[in-house]
């Protein structure tokens, strides 16, 4: 892909697909080893790829599991480092169609070996 903006949006779409399909391996390939996630409601911190993958595995085992979708509004590129900041909206809907929550998020991406990976995400629950 030519544009870092398009490449990051494509990687976010791949992450959304992986969440919808409960594909832990695909999620793993999108995360830095030391990735940090701060949840939106209780500000729980998931530190490291392994911790995040364990959380997703638990989430995926639920009968009426939640599917999280992130929709980027903007991607801000650094001119001095191979990093970018994604801003957008997220939503959580169960497989039965019940809307649980939604809000805003920011994600820091870094280009490593020609691929963009997530280093950090923070979520804000608004509804």
42-101 tens-digit pLDDT = 999 999 999 999 999 999 999 999 999 999 999 999 999 999 999 999 999 999 999 999
Q: Where are the beta strands (DSSP E) in 1-127?
A: 31-38, 45-47, 66-77, 83-94, 99-112, 115-125
Q: Residue 15: what pLDDT?
A: 98
CATH fold label, 4-125:
Nuclear Transport Factor 2; Chain: A, (3.10.450)
2 — pLDDT class (breaks 50, 70, 90): low
Contact at 8 Å (CB) between 27 and 53? yes
């Amino acid at each position: 892909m030519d544009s870092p903006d398009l490449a990051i949006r494509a990687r976010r779409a791949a992450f959304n697909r992986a969440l919808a399909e409960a594909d832990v391996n695909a999620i793993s390939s999108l995360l830095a080893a030391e990735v940090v996630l701060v949840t939106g409601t209780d500000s729980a911190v998931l530190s490291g790829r392994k911790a995040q993958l364990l959380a997703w595995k638990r989430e995926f085992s639920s009968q009426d599991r939640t599917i999280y979708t992130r929709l980027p509004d903007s991607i801000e590129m650094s001119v001095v480092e191979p990093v970018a900041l994604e801003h957008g909206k997220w939503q959580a809907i169960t497989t039965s169609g019940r809307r649980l929550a939604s809000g805003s998020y920011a994600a820091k991406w870094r280009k490593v070996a020609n691929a963009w990976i997530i280093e950090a995400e923070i979520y804000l629950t608004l509804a």
